[in-house]
Amino acid sequence: MEKGYLALVLHAHLPFVRHPEHDDFLEEDWLFEAITETYIPLLKVFEGLVNDGVDFRLTMSLTPSLGSMLMDPLLQDRYVKHIDGLIELSGREMERTRWQPEYQALAQMYHDLFIDCRDRFLNKYNRNLIYAFKKFQDLGKLEIITCGATHGFLPLMESNPNAVRAQIKVAAAHYQTMFDRRPRGIWLPECGYYPGLDEILKEEGIRFFLVDTHGILHGTPRPKYGVFAPVYCRSGVAAFGRDMESSKAVWSANEGYPGDYNYREFYRDIGFDLDYDYIRPYIHTDGTRINTGIKYYRITGRVDLSQKQPYVRQRALDRAADHAGNFLFNRAKQVEHLHDFLGRRPIVVSPYDAELYGHWWYEGPDWLNFLFRKMHYDQEVVKPITLMEYLDHNPKNQVVTPSFSSWGWKGYSEYWLEGSNDWIYRHLHKAADRMVELAKRFPDSGGLLRRGLNQAARELLLAQSSDWAFIMKTGTCVSYAVKRTNDHLERFTRLYEQINNNSLDEPWLADIEYKDNIFQQIDYRVYA
Amino acid sequence: MPRKKKVITATTIITRKKTARKKSPAKKLNALAAARPKKKPRTKKIKPPIIPSGPKVEEAKYYTGPVMRKFETEREFELPASYGDNRIVAMVRDPYWFFAYWEVSSRRRDEIGQMVGGDLFSRSKEVLRVYDTENWNYFDIQLTAGSASWYIKVPAPNRTYCVDIGFLLPDGRFIAAARSNWITMPLDRMSDLIDEEWMIPDWEKIYSLSGGFGIGKGSQEIRELVKKRFLEESGSGWVSSGSARASLPERPFWLTANCELIVYGATEPSATLTVQGRKIDLRDDGTFSLRFSLPDGDQVIPIEAIRDDGAERRQITPKVERRTE
């Protein structure tokens, strides 16, 4: 009989980046890279586990903005072009590296991988990864949870509850179109929670959310089991807290597994290494060198990028297996200790950004694969569990109001509210107020006006994406984030003015409906 | 008779340097982007590039379907400096700090001016008055002219505050123009409140087992790396094994060099071509090109073309030796 549970949670999110107005748009590559390196590899792992009868459990968010991109035909087409290019490039690499067996083996590995990705994407998944993930949800292995509609950081919208509500309602409705049922859990964007937010979650039938460690530990009253059991808010919605020990094993820059010297080096890519004219057709159309995804080196050590040694796949896989074993060993110890100490079976909640697995930590999906297999075959102390399953089996929990918190730097709002980005909020709040005003003023509308109102809601949601504030703070690619914020606010404001003047510009509206086509089924009255 | 050529190019393998490499998505938006110098390939070639029909490959890669619609041009737009509102909004940043932004409408300003008298009003100071809503104790922050937002430090976390924007008159009176929403600052430590039903025998231990003494550590470092990666214009300069930037050794002078080999040529477009026994696809015009990395030693590269009816064949076998000293 198990002594406790491990709940791995993967948060899969990318901001909505879709630019039909450009033939080739750099930021769209974020999606394509994540498909090739994270989403498809994860699906492959799940599939292998199911085929081999390994009973695994995972909780995973697929944010509405990511889901919308994955279901978008234009981006799906572009992904195929993208992977075609990689297949061609890796094919040429096999030629180019013919006299360097260690590199050629890797070129071959990538070539096979890309061909497999293309094949799966087109034939197995029918271009739609959402259905591929849904399959594992329907099998009871995966609990897919939702997120804010556009990953808006909710604590900084607190002054307009309708705006918060719209982020949740639109997300829940969108989830239903993807998965044919209501979401039972939510990944609050950046784990941003403020007391009272749970009331809004409850309205949508959401049963649980996650907070960072101190969200639970600093809750009121004191949580008896720390983060090793969920708590109920007064609304009855459950909150799970992040376990730091297990998180650190993966996340920590110093002690974390992904830094192992045998793992693939992310930052050395042939897009930068190879002769310009050779690589030119495979980088950005304007000639900007970019990461192609073909990387031949391992981390090697704390050495300069030019000193990196070739990647050896088998050695990396061996390390992934070791690390999975180490992780499991430590969880078993942790769970045994907690079990005796708490007098109850603890749940260890380990949330990560999904894109860490595969995209950044190339061997991450393999690590997960080994971990679930070892957990299944090698021991009986720790069982994998989804957060929902845990609640179903352990309905009695303490009532605690979690503390205002996020999983961002320093644990609160500072990352999204500081000198570089605080200017956006007066405009975002104003737009949100105006949207509420419109929704109240037009409780019933049709035709062009309705389209205008719905589009205004889309533009507002897109402007609210926390990614833009985050990017402004990180200091790279700021102009894109500023432009996105401005564009959506601008489009919103124009719509607002045109609706007020009864002068909606149909051709322009049709354009922005096509460009910012997220949430086709949106109903602006969520703001009323 | 097919053309035959043998070319060896040496290309320097470039160690990466950080360069601006973001395509600006804007048409003409951003002075910064516009001012950015056009990127140039940083390669120095001994021979000019020899891969023909590059654009074709490129087109194929980036071709996104036949319907690229024309869009209406969107007019230039700037976010307004103010909305003519009279309001102040407070937002929590962390247990000790909150942020407020405001706007005092000219109407409200005039109203207050008339109420207190123009002379007195002109000598007033614009201040924020921050209240602890439990006992209405307050403190004032005198603002610098033209400010429209402020970060405010509170005396204690876990209390509920609100803030007025207003005018402090020389006679000590305070006239508020607007009052903010109420905000409750987060608790920065464990709660003092203990639930009788859920008594805690050894709280300190639970707290520490939960990681309570190391809050704020852990995920952020790598999360930032991961996210930064999505945002990085160049992926260079970072070691994935640590959060610190790769320190480039101090090298006043350095050199790296490598060799590559390009084999190219042409035959009848309908012919079958093999290089070292492996079949190579010809381009529509019968040309081909292959690129190899070239290690030290001897390389023999038999190239054979066979006419489509199999009746004729031609063979060319370049032999290349590389010796690095």
Listing DSSP states for B41-92 in one string gives ----BSS----TTHHHHHHHHH---S-----PPPPP----S--S--EEEEEE
- SS3 label, residue A7: strand
Beta strands in A3-119 (DSSP E): 4-12, 58-62
Q: Is B42 on the interface with A (CB under 8 A)?
A: yes
Token digits of residue A224: 């008896």
Q: How far apart are the first and last CA of chain B?
A: 38
Which residue of B43, B222, B299 is the best one to mutate when testing the A interface, meaning the one whose CB has the most A CBs within 10 A? B222
Question: Contact at 8 Å (CB) between A24 and A367?
Answer: no
- Closest-CA residue of chain A to B280: A95
For residue A124, the distance in angstroms to the closest alpha carbon of chain B comes to 22
Q: Is B245 on the interface with A (CB under 8 A)?
A: no
Please check the confidence at residue A179 and state whether its pLDDT lies above 70. Answer: yes
pLDDT in tens, chain B (325 residues): 444 444 433 333 333 333 333 333 333 333 333 333 333 333 333 333 333 333 333 333 333 333 445 677 666 778 898 999 999 999 999 999 999 999 999 999 999 999 998 889 999 999 999 999 999 999 999 998 889 999 999 999 999 999 999 999 999 999 999 999 999 999 988 888 888 888 777 778 888 888 776 654 445 665 666 555 555 433 222 222 222 233 344 456 777 777 888 888 999 999 999 988 888 889 889 998 888 888 788 888 899 999 999 889 999 999 988 888 8
CA distance B232 to A279: 20
Q: Is A285 on the interface with B (CB under 8 A)?
A: yes
Of the candidate ranges A212-226, A381-395, A457-471, B62-76, the one whose mean pLDDT is the lowest: B62-76
Sequential DSSP letters for B163-223: EEEEEE-TTS-EEEEEEPPPEEPPPSS--S---GGG--S-HHHHHHHTTGGGTT-SHHHHH
% pLDDT > 70, chain A? 100
Q: Tell me whether residue A254 is exposed, middle or buried, using C-beta atoms within 10 angstroms of its C-beta: 0 to 12, 13 to 18, 19 or more.
A: exposed
- SS3 label, residue A166: helix
* Confidence check on the interface: ipTM exceeds 0.90, yes or no: yes
- SS3 label, residue A307: helix
CB pairs under 8 A between A and B: 366
Give A-chain residues touching B294 at CB under 8 angstroms: 99
- SS3 label, residue A471: helix
CA distance A166 to A528: 9
pLDDT of the residue at B229:
52
DSSP 8-state secondary structure symbol assigned to residue A186? E
pLDDT of the residue at B195:
86
Instruction: Give the pairing of strands A347-353 and A4-12.
Output: parallel
**In the predicted model, what is the mean pLDDT of chain A?**
95
Q: Which of B306-313's residues contact partners 24+ apart within 8 Å by CB, and which partners?
A: B306/B271, B306/B272, B306/B273, B306/B274, B307/B268, B307/B270, B307/B271, B308/B268, B308/B270, B308/B271, B308/B272
Tell the residue number behind the tokens 């029909």, with chain if given: B53
> b/e for B100-110, b at 16 or more Cβ within 10 A?
bbbbbbeebee
In terms of Cα–Cα distance, which of B246, B240, B243, B236 is closest to B221?
A: B243
Q: Is A442 on the interface with B (CB under 8 A)?
A: no
- Closest-CA residue of chain B to A262: B241
More confident residue, A229 or B256: A229
pLDDT of the residue at B62:
32
Is the torsion defined by CA of A216, A217, A223, A225 positive or negative? Answer: positive
For residue B6, the distance in angstroms to the closest alpha carbon of chain A comes to 16
CA-to-CA dists, residue A387 to A9, A230, A349, B36, B192, angstroms: 9, 9, 8, 49, 28
pLDDT of the residue at A492:
98
Q: Is the peptide bond before A221 cis (omega within 30 degrees of 0)?
A: yes
Please check the confidence at residue A461 and state whether its pLDDT lies above 90. Answer: yes
CA distance B232 to B296: 36
Contact B187 A245 (CB under 8 A): no
pLDDT of the residue at B324:
84
Q: Which residues contact A307 (CB under 8 A, 6 or more apart)?
A: A300
